[in-house]
Amino acid sequence: MVTLLGVSLTEKKPKFAYLKQVVIGALSGVLVLSLSIVGFGFVGASTTSTTKNSGTTKTDSTKTQITNPATTSGGSCSIATQTADKRLGTFTGQVIDLNTGTVLYDNGGSTGSITASTIKYLTAAAAMKALGSSFKFSTKVVYSPSTPDTITLVGGGDPTLNSLASGDSVYKGAAKLSDLAAQVQTWAQANGVTEVRHLVLDASLFTGSTWETSWPTSERTLGFQPQITALMVDGDRANPRNAVSARSIDPVGHAGRQFKIALGSLAANADITNGVARAGATKIAEVNSAKLSTMIKYMISQSDNTLAEMLARQVALAEGLPANFESIQAAYQKALSSMGLNFNAAAIKDGSGESKNDLITPALFNDLTAKVLAGTADLRSIVSGFPVAGKSGTLVSRFTGANAVARGKVYAKTGSIFHAYSLVGYLDAKDGSRLAFAVFASGPATSVATRTAIDTVVTGIYNCGLDLGNN
């Protein structure tokens, strides 16, 4: 995504009232626009009932086990001054020693806290467990022999599908609509089909609402989130090469029109309708996205909302649930059940963290980090996309001034929505220890300046290392 001072605009903007902050920041020189799309080349994101578990993690000899732990560290190093910063508003956080599982610091560690985009970390883990690292989105074209003048474009939830005639969109190396069209043209020539008269668009893979009720509509018009449909191209961006580009009111129709153009003279007079592919229809063309591991790296590093939402629905499908907003929490808990995470106090409304109603405890995030780092190569690949303080992704221009001492030592997923900011990940402390941390700040006292206050807290954790305590 486009970044402002190294933080994706989705991360930067405050909901509802964010325009004023962004404009003021831009005029003051605080926000400097720079395009940091790495892309898919990847040369080396309302009340509901929650399912509660017993609070007991499953035994795994390779992983640190944490079950709603109490603080056991007697460290003498304090971050009390840093966490008292008024810019943090309501602050919650927890820090653990990844070597022993000892909780070094805890302030509301079992309190559900507004995640913002840090929930993409959970989305990535659920996707990796449910789908596997080699999973790819698939977009197909099918037809029935009885109606050879009718073809159906079947969406598989791939937001990266590239509509450009040449070159890359913001998703470098993504599957191309032109390749799909070329396969259809080859099929037509081989089967004596001279004209496609009817183009049907099938987006039935996803069900329910296309928009979460807590998302402001400005997210769509200003280019941070499309309506969530199983068929779209370029993340439904008006300008496929601009990460923050207005999204349409009809992603499915937009994709269909672009496909008709790609088909050229074969479908020049075709009408376009929405529908569902006939049972037993024959596949005549197919293109696939990049592998899941590649998409996760991009989603995490650039905090791509659209990819997160699409992956959330694929997790639901993999777990035998409908692909809609209402299924996401149950799907994540099923996908991650073998990890024994404690979902008490959790509320998951979307896959991207755009909702102010997404709540996860600091303890759950730290438990997740411990198990990811001690897990399989596929699980560990998730954190390869973590932004690095002062070096990459949405942390590239953070940790400045006195906080620069922690540059290159903090690996974490950022989160920012209106009046809610967060940072979740791990760090290699000054004393050589490796610590997991999850810190959250929310409430009306928070602003874009809260990110600096969070950086200061994390730098304090870095400086304290294993001597960190709750004093």
C-beta neighbour count of 449 within 10 angstroms: 14
| Lowest pLDDT segment from 16-20, 220-224, 364-368 | 16-20
What percentage of the chain exceeds 70 in pLDDT? 85
Residues 251 and 357 placed together within one structural domain of the fold? no
Residues 320 and 274 placed together within one structural domain of the fold? no
- Mean pLDDT value across the chain: 87
Q: For residues 351-379, give the mean pLDDT.
A: 97
Q: For residues 242-247, give the mean pLDDT.
A: 93
What percentage of the chain exceeds 90 in pLDDT? 83
| pLDDT computed for residue 170 by the predictor | 92
* pLDDT(2) > 80: no
- pLDDT band for position 471 (50/70/90)? confident
Residues 206 and 109 placed together within one structural domain of the fold? no
* pLDDT(304) > 80: yes
For 246, half-sphere exposure in the C-beta direction (CA atoms, 13 angstrom radius) is: 5
| pLDDT computed for residue 72 by the predictor | 59
Residues 453 and 341 placed together within one structural domain of the fold? yes
Residues 115 and 18 placed together within one structural domain of the fold? yes
| C-alpha–C-alpha distance, residues 77 and 162, integer Å | 52
| pLDDT computed for residue 288 by the predictor | 98
State the first-to-last Cα distance of the chain, in angstroms, to the nearest integer.
40
* pLDDT(407) > 50: yes
User: Which residue among 232, 257, 289 closes a domain?
Assistant: 289
C-beta neighbour count of 81 within 10 angstroms: 10
33/157: higher pLDDT: 157
Residues 8 and 21 placed together within one structural domain of the fold? yes
Residues 144 and 127 placed together within one structural domain of the fold? no
| C-alpha–C-alpha distance, residues 141 and 191, integer Å | 15
Residues 242 and 332 placed together within one structural domain of the fold? no
Number of domains in the chain: 2
Secondary structure (DSSP) of 162-213: B--SSS--SSTT--BHHHHHHHHHHHHHHTT-----EEEEE-TTS-S-SS-T
Residues 166 and 63 placed together within one structural domain of the fold? no
Token code pair at residue 449: 């300046």
| pLDDT computed for residue 395 by the predictor | 97
247 lies in which domain range? 138-289
Domain holding 225: CATH number?
3.50.80.20
Strands 271-274 and 198-202: parallel
| pLDDT computed for residue 331 by the predictor | 98
Residues 123 and 262 placed together within one structural domain of the fold? no
Token code pair at residue 250: 């009809």
| C-alpha–C-alpha distance, residues 137 and 30, integer Å | 39
* 45-88 per-position pLDDT tens digit: 333 333 333 233 333 333 333 334 445 567 999 999 999 999 99
Residues 285 and 298 placed together within one structural domain of the fold? no
What are the E-state strand segments in 353-394? 359-360
Residues 156 and 84 placed together within one structural domain of the fold? no
| pLDDT computed for residue 71 by the predictor | 52
| pLDDT computed for residue 11 by the predictor | 56
| C-alpha–C-alpha distance, residues 448 and 12, integer Å | 7
User: Which residue among 226, 258, 289 closes a domain?
Assistant: 289
Amino acid present at 277: A
Location of structure tokens 């474009």: 153
| pLDDT computed for residue 196 by the predictor | 98
Residues in the chain, total: 471
| Lowest pLDDT segment from 30-44, 187-201, 232-246 | 30-44
User: Which residue among 238, 259, 289 closes a domain?
Assistant: 289
pTM of the entire predicted model = 0.85
* pLDDT(298) > 90: yes
Domain holding 17: CATH number?
3.40.710.10
